[in-house]
Amino acid sequence: MATKLDAIRNLLMDMDGVLYRGHTPLAGAAELIHFLRGRGIRFLLVTNNSTLTPAQFAERMQKMGIPVEAEEIMTSGVATAEYLATIAPPGTKVNVVGEGGLIAELEKRGFVMAGREAQFVVCGLDKTVTYEKLKTATLAIRDGATFIGTNADKTYPLEKDLIPGAGSILAALIAATDVQPIVVGKPEPIILEQCLRLLGARKEETALLGDRLDTDILGGHRAGLTTIMVTTGIHTAEEAAAYPIQPDYLFADLPALLAAWRQALAE
Ligand SMILES: [Mg+2]
């Protein structure tokens, strides 16, 4: 059963399509952060995007007037590195198809970048992917390396277009190896469970706020969280109505969510 808005003590929030779109802040984004801080509601921003580090995301949002810190951001890159650290010791060789944000998180935990001889292949969104990178990762997986994906989003939304996402690169490696990766990002539970642990949060008191049905709402539902959808991003209210899993709350935008939340607290 969904938790009432006034009983929510922790909030996991998606970023793109919720707080901003592209480089434009969405209405109510800064106000929501101030509201949560003022009410002592703990929160984490959770993104499947592994290309930037939390510090880089924080800087980007601060420039848009959204006052968040690096420590308040969980990327699929961070979650993947954390996950790997639970199954492999520092010094383990990892082959990466991915960008700087992902490599930085893995190196921070002592993993060593490697080629075909790697014990793990970690694949995220890589806008400079080449045949050579796919070939090395394929050979490593065929040699027995464990295959991990940061997230399986097939597309990556720009302000007006959809371009290939991490899932499209994973698809190439799946085709070449016939191996399915362990996926860390939403809607898989690994990233959300890490967020709950980090906040020391109980599921019954935690909500997930997002704009996308097949990652945010499905992931939150699977993790046993209350789900809140805003229609300022990928999916519309009509698409939500047609989806097999319904968000517990649906709002047109953040100001509408804030108004309902304030009213619930005032009652
Ligand atoms: Mg989103």
Residue 147's domain comprises: 77-183
Residue 1: pLDDT band with limits 50, 70, 90: low
User: pLDDT at position 22, please?
Assistant: 84
Residue 223 pLDDT > 80, yes or no? yes
Is residue 204 a part of any domain in this protein?
Answer: yes
Looking at the 3D structure of the chain, how many domains does it have? 2
Q: 161 and 92, same structural domain?
A: yes
Cβ contact 197:10 at 8 Å: no
Residue 159: pLDDT band with limits 50, 70, 90: confident
Q: Summarize the confidence of residues 188-193 as an average pLDDT.
A: 96
Structure-block tokens of residue 3: 């938790």
Residue 2 pLDDT > 80, yes or no? no
Closest Cα partner for 156 from 195, 212, 209? Answer: 212
Residue 3 pLDDT > 90, yes or no? no
Residue 58 alpha carbon to ligand 1 centre in Å = 16
Q: What is the pLDDT of residues 57-95, one digit of tens each?
A: 999 999 999 999 999 999 999 999 999 999 999 999 999
Q: 169 and 111, same structural domain?
A: yes
Residue 212 alpha carbon to ligand 1 centre in Å = 6
CATH number at residue 82: 3.40.50.1000
Q: 172 and 86, same structural domain?
A: yes
In percent, how much of the chain has pLDDT > 70? 100
Residue 228 pLDDT > 60, yes or no? yes
User: pLDDT at position 78, please?
Assistant: 96
Enzyme catalytic residues: 14, 16
User: pLDDT at position 147, please?
Assistant: 98
Residue 7 alpha carbon to ligand 1 centre in Å = 24
The domain boundary residue, chosen from 129, 151, 183 = 183
